[in-house]
């Protein structure tokens, strides 16, 4: 895999640290836990979309775009990182935010990431839940072209083979760190949504025969649906980077036991995971993705899913800006 063949803009403060979580390891009496700090990637509080945007914005510049358009849920971290990337490159940014969460708290519509989107200078449109977001993106693209602009659409979550290259790159970075630190990694665990993170990681870790499992904790879809979507994107990504031989369906593992009431809907496990990780590791998770991902990891450790002599890396995908849109959930803790 030779990623310098693809257009790319450098945004990421990398390599992101790979750090032990000794306190949580002791508390859970489980496998050795480490964290890969992709919450520290840069772009206005960081997160996993920064790596994807390196390649997506590379393509946008190559195509001569002057406006990037993307979509997400109201508290989308992806939208905020896209706004930041566009600002750095001097491009305009149009964001469409879909109301996917019912009965959110008082800060949900204007705090957290929405506040940062405004601060970063993006143009924001709010649409109701259930809107055809692909059509909505196309409509804005036509509007931009109509006024003489050159639009580039970033898919939701930045999840297509171009964006997933960011996580092929992360897989290689992680392997290098593990080798340098003489750490044998058994499994990488992370929250999985639009699937580009897991697809890129699996493509990178399989394409290098690393023998490392990737275990996605779903934040929205049932297990089989999530695994099939991730597998399709993994195959497309592997083909895009020229990995020989198809990656087997059983290399895609997702668990949807921690979704709770649905995307962005708080769960007791998430609240416990965010609180425990803050109080024992001083690491800030988020309520929608990394909090549910960590809730899954904690529960699996308690159930003895991993052996004590195994090493598990939690990929911290970021999102802590959204904490400020869900503050009231944690005030009781």
Ligand X SMILES: *Cc1c(COP(=O)(O)O)cnc(C)c1O
Residues that bind ligand X (CB under 6 A): 47-48, 77-78, 157, 159, 191-198, 286, 289-290, 317-319
Strands 311-316, 253-255: pairing kind: unpaired
The least CB distance from residue 148 to ligand X, in Å, is 32
E strand residue ranges, 58-204:
67-73, 92-98, 123-127, 151-153, 187-192
Closest CA to 172 of 329, 9, 15: 15
Q: Among the options 4, 76, 159, 218, which is catalytic?
A: 76
Would you say 173 and 210 are in contact if contact means Cβ atoms under 8 Å apart? no
Classified as helix, coil or strand, 198 is helix
Alpha-carbon distance of 2 to 6, in angstroms, equals 8
The least CB distance from residue 45 to ligand X, in Å, is 10
Closest CA to 169 of 314, 41, 312, 310: 41
Alpha-carbon distance of 190 to 158, in angstroms, equals 17
Q: Which is nearer to ligand X, 254 or 312 (CB)?
A: 254
Asked about 290 being catalytic, the answer comes back as no
- The residue assigned the tokens 């399989």 is 206
The partner residues of 311 in beta bridges, in order of sequence, read: 32
Q: Which is nearer to ligand X, 30 or 193 (CB)?
A: 193
The partner residues of 216 in beta bridges, in order of sequence, read: 190, 254
Residue 191 corresponds to which tokens in the numbers above?
A: 């929250």
The least CB distance from residue 134 to ligand X, in Å, is 16
Instruction: Give the list of residues 6+ apart from residue 315 with CB closer than 8 angstroms, or none.
Output: 35, 36, 38, 48, 170, 188, 189, 190, 197, 201
The least CB distance from residue 308 to ligand X, in Å, is 28
Preceding omega of 26 cis (within 30 degrees of 0): no
Q: Which is nearer to ligand X, 112 or 207 (CB)?
A: 112
Q: Which is nearer to ligand X, 144 or 187 (CB)?
A: 187
Alpha-carbon distance of 304 to 201, in angstroms, equals 25
The least CB distance from residue 54 to ligand X, in Å, is 14
Q: Which is nearer to ligand X, 83 or 144 (CB)?
A: 83
The least CB distance from residue 39 to ligand X, in Å, is 8
| Cα radius of gyration rounded to whole Å, the chain | 19
CB atoms within 10 A of CB 108: 18
- The residue assigned the tokens 């369906």 is 249
The least CB distance from residue 234 to ligand X, in Å, is 12
Alpha-carbon distance of 249 to 254, in angstroms, equals 11
Q: Which is nearer to ligand X, 167 or 306 (CB)?
A: 167
Residues designated catalytic: 76
């Amino acid at each position: 895999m030779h990623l310098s063949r693809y257009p790319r803009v450098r945004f990421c403060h990398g390599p992101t640290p790979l750090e032990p979580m000794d306190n949580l390891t002791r508390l859970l009496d489980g496998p050795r836990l480490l964290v890969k700090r992709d919450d520290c990637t840069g772009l206005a509080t960081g997160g996993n979309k920064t790596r994807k945007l390196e390649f997506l914005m590379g393509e946008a510049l190559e195509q001569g775009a002057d406006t990037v358009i993307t979509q997400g849920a109201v508290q989308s971290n992806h939208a905020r990182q896209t706004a930041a990337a566009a600002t750095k490159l001097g491009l305009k940014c149009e964001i469409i935010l879909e109301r996917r969460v019912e009965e959110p708290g008082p800060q949900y519509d204007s705090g957290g990431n929405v506040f940062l989107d405004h601060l970063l200078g993006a143009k924001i449109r709010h649409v109701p839940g259930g809107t055809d977001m692909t059509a909505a993106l196309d409509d804005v693209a036509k509007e931009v072209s109509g006024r003489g602009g050159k639009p580039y659409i970033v898919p939701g979550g930045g999840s297509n083979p171009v964006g997933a290259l960011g996580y092929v790159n992360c897989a290689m970075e992680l392997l290098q760190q593990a080798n340098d630190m003489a750490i044998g990694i058994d499994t990488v665990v992370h929250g999985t949504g639009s699937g580009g993170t897991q697809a890129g990681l699996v493509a990178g870790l399989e394409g290098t025969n690393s023998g490392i499992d990737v275990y996605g904790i779903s934040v929205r879809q049932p297990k089989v649906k999530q695994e099939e979507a991730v597998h399709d994107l993994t195959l497309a990504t592997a083909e895009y980077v020229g990995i020989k031989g198809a990656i087997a369906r059983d290399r895609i593992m997702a668990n949807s036991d921690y979704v709770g009431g649905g995307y962005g809907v708080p769960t007791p496990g998430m609240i416990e995971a965010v609180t425990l990780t803050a109080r024992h590791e001083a690491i800030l998770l988020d309520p929608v993705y990394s909090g549910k991902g960590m809730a899954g990891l904690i529960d699996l450790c308690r159930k003895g899913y991993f052996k004590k002599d195994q090493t598990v890396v939690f990929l911290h995908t970021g999102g802590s800006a959204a904490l400020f849109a869900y503050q009231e959930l944690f005030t009781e803790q």
